[in-house]
């Protein structure tokens, strides 16, 4: 096995630390801008009905099929991955593997097709439940997370939140709930689901950037890391 010379190892580690610092800076700026927009009322809940709004400025449970259309192909793929992670929960089963690109692509194509059936005002949450609830479990680790672009990371986190809410809603309503029942539940998810999620996706983005700054933490799965961060915030 080839081992890099110490001087080269130090350079690589220095670049890694610099990249992590840049990522933390981006995340902090994104979190501040999001909080400022919310405080100023720049992102009212009613904006969810507008297809021109950036979906990442909205609550995931308010997303419509029109918002799905505004995402890039890669953002759609990572939203799908995030939903499956949230739907499956914190503990990935033994043998869970990283997302398989062809499998993700097939599910993205099914969601693309659902736009024409459901119309632009259809609830994206309903489509995600119907098309992704039987997807195989995937595992995403800190190393995988670190190579994603900022908007791809946000797509993952919005997907995770949608998956968590969807799992709780289906448990509450039952597996035989109609699409109309699910759509109404998603519209009221923040009041129905308890306990409420502790952080908005943009703020969780910043916390994850801080957490994964340390390279020895990057082998942990994303979902277990999210659980650790949330538990630290909630306290004992």
- Alpha helices (runs of H) in 89-149, residue ranges in sequence order: 101-118, 124-132, 142-146
- Whether 187 is in a domain gets the answer yes
pLDDT by position in tens, the chain (length 236): 444 455 544 554 554 554 444 455 554 444 444 444 434 444 444 444 455 678 898 888 889 999 999 999 999 999 999 999 999 886 666 667 888 899 999 999 999 998 878 888 899 999 999 999 888 888 899 999 999 999 999 999 999 999 988 998 999 899 889 999 999 988 887 666 655 666 788 889 999 999 999 889 999 889 989 988 888 877 65
- Whether 9 is in a domain gets the answer no
Please tell me the predicted confidence (pLDDT) of residue 189.
76
Domain extent for 116: 17-234
- Whether 4 is in a domain gets the answer no
What's the predicted TM-score (pTM) here?
0.76
- Axis-axis angle for helices 179-187, 150-173 (nearest 10): 120
Sequence length of the chain is: 236
- Whether 140 is in a domain gets the answer yes
Separation of alpha carbons 191 and 85, rounded Å: 22
Separation of alpha carbons 1 and 24, rounded Å: 33
């Amino acid at each position: 096995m080839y081992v890099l010379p110490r001087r080269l190892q130090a350079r690589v580690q220095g670049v890694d630390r610099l990249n992590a610092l840049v990522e933390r800076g981006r995340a902090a700026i994104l979190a501040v801008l999001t909080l400022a927009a919310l405080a100023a009322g720049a992102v009212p809940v009613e904006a969810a009905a507008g297809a021109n709004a950036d979906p990442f400025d909205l609550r995931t449970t308010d997303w419509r099929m029109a918002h799905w259309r505004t995402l890039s192909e890669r953002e759609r793929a990572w939203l799908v991955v995030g939903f499956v992670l949230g739907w499956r929960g914190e503990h990935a089963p033994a043998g869970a593997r990283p997302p398989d690109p062809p499998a993700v692509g097939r599910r993205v194509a099914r969601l693309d097709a659902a736009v024409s059936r459901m119309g632009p005002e259809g609830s994206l949450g309903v489509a995600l439940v119907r098309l992704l609830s039987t997807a195989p479990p995937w595992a995403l680790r800190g190393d995988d997370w670190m190579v994603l672009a900022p908007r791809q990371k946000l797509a993952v986190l919005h997907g995770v939140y949608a998956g968590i809410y969807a799992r709780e809603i289906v448990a509450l309503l039952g597996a035989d709930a109609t699409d109309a029942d699910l759509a109404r539940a998603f519209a009221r998810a923040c009041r129905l689901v308890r306990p409420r999620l502790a952080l908005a996706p943009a703020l969780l983005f910043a916390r994850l950037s801080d957490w994964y700054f340390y390279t020895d933490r990057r082998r942990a799965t994303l979902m277990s890391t999210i659980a650790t961060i949330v538990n630290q915030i909630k306290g004992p």
